[in-house]
Amino acid sequence: MSVEPVNKISLLAVLRTVVVVSLVSVLIWIVAEGESLSTERVEVVVRLVSDSSDTAMRPTADNGWTGRVVLELEGSTAEVSRLRELLRDPIGLNPGDPGVPVEPGQHTLDIADVLRQSEVFEGSGVSLSSVEPETADVLIDRVQWRQFEVAVNVPDLASASSPVADPRQVRVLVPSLVAGQISNLRSLTASLTSDQVAGLKVGERNVISNVPIDLPEALANHPFVRSTPDRVSVTVTLENREDSITLNNVPVQIRRPAFEAERWTVQVDPQDHLLQNVTVTGPSDLIEQIRNQQLTIFASVVLTLDDRDAGITQKEATFSDLPTPLSFSAPSTTVRLTIRPVDPAPAQ
């Protein structure tokens, strides 16, 4: 009988045994490694959001919150590894989530407490030993859409007929904490700038695009507020374009009833013969006439018999007794004066 086949059979049996033992050993090592405790620091992104259409949450403006949080995890190597993979996606925190308030106002979130109650950590078998930063200051509020008419404001340097915004109404998301400050507000304003008015053609229909909506102070810088749309187009017909000029000196005239003029004299204080720094504003064509000295401006002091009888010593000067598209302003329009009766001529 040959011994060689028996030896081959024995060698194969030994090899099979060695392979099985090795595989079992590796599996035991893998299981042991997975069950061994592990500590690991992981950086995650935490987003303060709101999935509800009527509630909003944001970090307060001055707390330095970036959304990047460093977590220290403790647990079995396998559990920590599984959780680490899940934490590659940002974690969203909503008002009303476990540990997150829903009441309007400023709140301080305990990040560790909130995360421990989140779906990501619940049942993971991993402990959260530390969090950096530990807290986040947030503002939570209920919000509601309100509709406002849009009025158009054209600067004083232009006279326009019925400017119209398109669209004529806008929707604004208003937080409840500031709603009381604008309870009487029914319209918002789209204001044209002086530069925009300067580019308009007088007497023609002009359309200006992308004119921003002016929000009141209570809403302008609030993080929850937004307007839809936030810009409008304005259609306006410019009747005339206004201009202004400042005159260094404007002569002062004295006016009094002609039938009494010979019976009293008026002397004006020499320092008030001219009014200084008079600003004239009005249609650009009239201002151009003043600039070219085709139109002369005077200030008038109109005296009455009552002024004479009262012996007044000063009176305000005016620039026109009749309606005019021009307006006037000056640092001072007071004219000091002296009224004296005229001595009767001696009888012949």
Tens-place pLDDT, residues 246-295: 999 999 999 988 887 788 899 999 999 999 999 998 888 888 899 999 99
Widest CA span of the chain, in angstroms?
A: 187
Q: Report d(CA 313, CA 338) in Å as an integer.
A: 6
Please give the average per-residue pLDDT across 189-211, as a whole number: 88
Strands across the sheet with 264-268, in order? Answer: 264-268, 334-341, 314-316
CA-wise closest residue to 49 among 37, 39, 58, 40: 58
Neighbours of 245 (CB within 10 A): 15
CA-wise closest residue to 239 among 204, 196, 286: 204
Tens-place pLDDT, residues 126-179: 988 899 999 999 999 999 999 999 999 887 656 677 789 999 999 999 999 999
On whether the CB atoms of residues 111 and 133 are closer than 8 A, the answer is yes
On whether the CB atoms of residues 208 and 233 are closer than 8 A, the answer is yes
Neighbours of 280 (CB within 10 A): 22
pTM of the entire structure? 0.58
Tens-place pLDDT, residues 104-138: 999 999 999 999 998 888 888 898 889 999 999 99
Amino acid (one-letter) located at 264? W
State CA 346 to chain mean position distance.
Answer: 79
